[in-house]
Chains A and B, each alone.
Chain A
Amino acid sequence: MTSIPTIPLGHWVSHGVDYLTAHYGASLNAVSHFIHSLISLLEHGLRAVPVLIFIPLVAVLSLLALGWQRPRAWGLALFSLFGLGLVWDLHLWHALIQTLALVLAAELLILIVGIPLGIFAAQSHLAEKILRPILDVMQTMPAFVYLVPAVIFFGLGLVPGVIATTIFALPPLVRLTALGIRQVPAELVEATESFGATWWQLLWKVQIPTALPSIMAGVNQSIMLGLSMVVIASMIGAGGLGNEVLQGITQLDVGKSFVGGISVVILAIIIDRLTQAFGQQRKE
């Protein structure tokens, strides 16, 4: 049996990464700087609100978003009060805000990149053909894989955490944006064109508003995926609630892990219900 030579795939990728850091260091720095400012802005903003105002505020927001006449809205409001109260009581408020800032920063980047990509994919068959396999790979690639290049390009800390989260959580928004826009009835698009609308008017006045429920579902899914990255991102120093879980694991402290984990779940449930409510409100 002759041995087949091993293709040096791993070698090539490493070389590529080296090349990029060597030649695009300046741009990478700029990106890093931008993301860093974004996170600290968000974090400072969130911390500016005292906990005892923050928590009731979330409860009120739940009532507004879901409609105060509905029992479900009151359920969510109560859940927010007790859930967030619990996190605060467990001395995890600081970590929670850090995690929230990270997830929001990543979501902001996801929106900036994902919605235009989704629109592009909806309108061009070629773009769709190119994007589809890339999105498939991004979504099925184990999340850990994103950590290494993120660290190589951006070092340890929050910034690579946000980048890895962004990449990992981007696909559903692109897909659902494209889907929503492609599902706008052809007659509606024709009607709009028949009135002499420009491409831009068609997009803003008809396609995006009509696709909004689908786009909001994409936002919801990507935030949920982002939250699921929190623990993994903490492995490269992103801190926050993920850090609690990670420390619990390394110290074999089940209680600590559990407490961190339950805090992530509480945050996830609140964000999930709120973003869903925003998506559905438009439909009615």
Chain B
Amino acid sequence: MRILRGALLLGGLALLACGLVGLLTDPYVTGPLGVLLWAAGLVALHDGLWLPLVCALGAATTGRPVLRGWLVVAAAVGAVAVPAVLRAGDDHGNPTLLPLPYLRHWLLFLAVTAAAAALAALVRRSVRKARPRGR
């Protein structure tokens, strides 16, 4: 365990140094400060805005695991779908880039998964009513 830990630590520090030195010395990366600002901005948005929102939504939905699960799925798919929705049509004259109706697909996905989640919640409730044991 000790040796493994030491090797992980040293190896990790070496790769980390490689990455940072590479970023600072790469001839194409002329403004490493910009990289730092974007990375810090992402962390600030994620930890300062996004996670508080998730925690608030979580608190508002205690005891409703199916609703929570649906929110998690919708958020995850939204993270990859919404950028495509925002960029749809912006193809620099290349019709093979972003060729799908992304907004329509996104709404369709939300509707279908919401219906499935509602069904699952109903089934869950009736099953629990039939077997009133809880936990």
- A and B physically associate: no
Using a CB–CB distance below 8 Å, which chain B residues touch chain A? none
